[in-house]
Protein backbone atom coordinates (compact mmCIF):
# COMPACT_ATOMS: atom_id res chain seq x y z
CA UNK A 1 0.00 0.00 0.00
CA UNK A 2 2.87 2.36 0.82
CA UNK A 3 4.46 2.00 -2.59
CA UNK A 4 1.14 2.35 -4.46
CA UNK A 5 0.22 5.49 -2.50
CA UNK A 6 3.66 6.90 -3.30
CA UNK A 7 3.21 6.02 -6.98
CA UNK A 8 -0.24 7.68 -7.01
CA UNK A 9 1.27 10.80 -5.45
CA UNK A 10 4.17 10.91 -7.92
CA UNK A 11 1.95 10.50 -10.95
CA UNK A 12 -1.15 12.29 -9.67
CA UNK A 13 -3.19 9.17 -10.32
CA UNK A 14 -6.13 7.69 -8.43
CA UNK A 15 -6.18 4.47 -6.47
CA UNK A 16 -8.75 2.47 -4.58
CA UNK A 17 -8.84 -0.20 -1.92
CA UNK A 18 -11.45 -2.91 -1.42
CA UNK A 19 -11.69 -4.62 1.95
CA UNK A 20 -13.65 -7.87 1.83
CA UNK A 21 -14.80 -9.93 4.80
CA UNK A 22 -16.41 -13.35 4.46
CA UNK A 23 -19.84 -13.27 6.08
CA UNK A 24 -20.41 -15.66 9.00
CA UNK A 25 -17.06 -17.39 8.51
CA UNK A 26 -17.05 -18.67 12.09
CA UNK A 27 -19.91 -21.01 11.15
CA UNK A 28 -17.68 -22.70 8.57
CA UNK A 29 -14.93 -23.37 11.11
CA UNK A 30 -17.45 -24.45 13.75
CA UNK A 31 -19.31 -26.79 11.38
CA UNK A 32 -16.55 -28.31 9.23
CA UNK A 33 -13.38 -27.53 11.18
CA UNK A 34 -10.47 -25.18 10.71
CA UNK A 35 -8.81 -27.19 7.94
CA UNK A 36 -11.98 -26.92 5.85
CA UNK A 37 -12.09 -23.21 6.68
CA UNK A 38 -8.50 -22.85 5.48
CA UNK A 39 -9.41 -24.51 2.18
CA UNK A 40 -12.34 -22.14 1.75
CA UNK A 41 -9.99 -19.17 2.33
CA UNK A 42 -7.51 -20.52 -0.24
CA UNK A 43 -10.28 -20.91 -2.79
CA UNK A 44 -11.50 -17.37 -2.11
CA UNK A 45 -7.92 -16.09 -2.54
CA UNK A 46 -7.70 -17.84 -5.90
CA UNK A 47 -11.08 -16.43 -6.97
CA UNK A 48 -9.89 -12.93 -6.05
CA UNK A 49 -6.67 -13.30 -8.03
CA UNK A 50 -8.67 -14.48 -11.04
CA UNK A 51 -11.05 -11.53 -10.67
CA UNK A 52 -8.30 -8.90 -10.71
CA UNK A 53 -6.44 -7.11 -13.43
CA UNK A 54 -2.75 -7.89 -13.84
CA UNK A 55 -1.66 -4.82 -11.89
CA UNK A 56 -4.25 -5.08 -9.08
CA UNK A 57 -2.90 -6.41 -5.79
CA UNK A 58 -5.11 -8.86 -3.89
CA UNK A 59 -4.02 -10.23 -0.53
CA UNK A 60 -5.23 -11.71 2.69
CA UNK A 61 -5.38 -9.04 5.35
CA UNK A 62 -6.02 -11.33 8.30
CA UNK A 63 -8.53 -13.89 9.48
CA UNK A 64 -11.23 -13.98 6.84
CA UNK A 65 -10.49 -10.48 5.54
CA UNK A 66 -8.94 -9.74 2.18
CA UNK A 67 -7.80 -6.47 0.60
CA UNK A 68 -7.53 -5.64 -3.07
CA UNK A 69 -5.52 -2.60 -4.06
CA UNK A 70 -6.63 -1.09 -7.37
CA UNK A 71 -4.00 1.28 -8.79
CA UNK A 72 -5.11 3.81 -11.40
CA UNK A 73 -8.73 3.36 -10.35
CA UNK A 74 -11.08 6.17 -9.39
CA UNK A 75 -12.96 5.14 -6.22
CA UNK A 76 -16.37 5.64 -7.86
CA UNK A 77 -15.48 3.11 -10.55
CA UNK A 78 -14.70 0.38 -8.03
CA UNK A 79 -18.30 -0.41 -7.22
CA UNK A 80 -18.57 -2.35 -10.48
CA UNK A 81 -15.44 -4.37 -9.61
CA UNK A 82 -16.61 -5.00 -6.06
CA UNK A 83 -20.08 -6.05 -7.17
CA UNK A 84 -18.62 -8.43 -9.76
CA UNK A 85 -16.46 -10.05 -7.06
CA UNK A 86 -19.36 -10.22 -4.60
CA UNK A 87 -21.64 -11.88 -7.16
CA UNK A 88 -18.94 -14.27 -8.33
CA UNK A 89 -18.25 -15.37 -4.77
CA UNK A 90 -21.94 -15.78 -3.99
CA UNK A 91 -22.46 -18.01 -7.05
CA UNK A 92 -19.36 -20.20 -6.62
CA UNK A 93 -19.58 -23.58 -4.92
CA UNK A 94 -16.64 -23.98 -2.54
CA UNK A 95 -15.39 -27.35 -1.32
CA UNK A 96 -15.83 -27.64 2.43
CA UNK A 97 -14.94 -31.05 3.76
CA UNK A 98 -17.10 -33.53 1.86
CA UNK A 99 -19.69 -30.85 1.14
CA UNK A 100 -19.79 -27.84 -1.13
CA UNK A 101 -21.07 -24.52 0.15
CA UNK A 102 -21.58 -21.00 -1.03
CA UNK A 103 -20.40 -18.03 0.96
CA UNK A 104 -21.12 -14.35 0.79
CA UNK A 105 -18.94 -11.37 1.56
CA UNK A 106 -19.30 -7.78 2.59
CA UNK A 107 -17.02 -5.28 0.85
CA UNK A 108 -15.92 -1.80 1.84
CA UNK A 109 -14.43 0.64 -0.68
CA UNK A 110 -12.14 3.62 -0.13
CA UNK A 111 -9.64 5.48 -2.24
CA UNK A 112 -8.18 8.70 -3.55
CA UNK A 113 -8.99 10.59 -6.70
CA UNK A 114 -5.94 12.06 -8.45
CA UNK A 115 -4.18 13.17 -5.24
CA UNK A 116 -3.76 16.80 -4.49
CA UNK A 117 -2.97 18.56 -1.24
CA UNK A 118 -6.33 17.90 0.38
CA UNK A 119 -6.89 14.20 -0.21
CA UNK A 120 -3.54 12.57 0.48
CA UNK A 121 -4.03 9.57 2.73
CA UNK A 122 -1.63 7.51 4.77
CA UNK A 123 -1.85 3.73 4.32
CA UNK A 124 -3.43 3.48 7.79
CA UNK A 125 -6.06 6.11 6.90
CA UNK A 126 -6.91 4.38 3.61
CA UNK A 127 -7.28 1.02 5.38
CA UNK A 128 -9.37 2.62 8.13
CA UNK A 129 -11.74 4.16 5.59
CA UNK A 130 -12.18 0.87 3.71
CA UNK A 131 -12.67 -0.91 7.04
CA UNK A 132 -15.36 1.56 8.15
CA UNK A 133 -17.15 1.08 4.82
CA UNK A 134 -16.88 -2.69 5.32
CA UNK A 135 -18.41 -2.41 8.80
CA UNK A 136 -21.19 -0.33 7.31
CA UNK A 137 -21.89 -3.12 4.80
CA UNK A 138 -21.98 -5.64 7.66
CA UNK A 139 -24.32 -3.49 9.71
CA UNK A 140 -26.64 -2.92 6.75
CA UNK A 141 -27.28 -6.61 6.22
CA UNK A 142 -24.07 -8.22 4.85
CA UNK A 143 -23.51 -9.58 1.34
CA UNK A 144 -23.26 -6.05 -0.03
CA UNK A 145 -20.79 -3.32 -0.88
CA UNK A 146 -20.46 0.11 0.69
CA UNK A 147 -18.39 3.12 -0.33
CA UNK A 148 -16.43 5.19 2.18
CA UNK A 149 -18.34 8.29 3.13
CA UNK A 150 -17.22 10.98 5.58
CA UNK A 151 -20.45 10.34 7.49
CA UNK A 152 -18.94 7.02 8.57
CA UNK A 153 -16.54 9.00 10.76
CA UNK A 154 -19.39 10.30 12.87
CA UNK A 155 -21.29 7.02 12.90
CA UNK A 156 -21.51 5.38 16.29
CA UNK A 157 -18.35 3.49 17.12
CA UNK A 158 -20.42 0.86 18.88
CA UNK A 159 -19.95 -2.84 18.51
CA UNK A 160 -19.73 -3.94 14.92
CA UNK A 161 -19.75 -7.65 14.38
CA UNK A 162 -18.09 -9.46 11.53
Torsions phi, psi for 65 (to 5 deg) = -105, 140
The one catalytic residue in 4, 64, 65, 146 is 64
Residue 162's CB: how many other CB atoms inside 10 A?
Answer: 16
Strands 105-112 and 145-147: parallel
The full DSSP string for 84-149 is: HHHHHHHT--EEETTEEE---EEEEEEEESS--GGG---HHHHHHHHHHHHHHHHHTTSSSEEE--
Contact 112, 127 (CB under 8 A): no
Cα distance between residue 141 and residue 152, in whole Å: 16
| 107 DSSP β-pair partners | 20, 145
Catalytic residue check, 50: no
Which of the residues are catalytic? Answer: 64
Amino acid sequence: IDSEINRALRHGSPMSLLMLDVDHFKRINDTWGHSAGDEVLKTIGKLLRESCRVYDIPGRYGGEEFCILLPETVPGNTTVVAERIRQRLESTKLACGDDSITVTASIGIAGMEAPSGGDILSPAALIDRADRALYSAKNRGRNRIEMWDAELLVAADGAISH
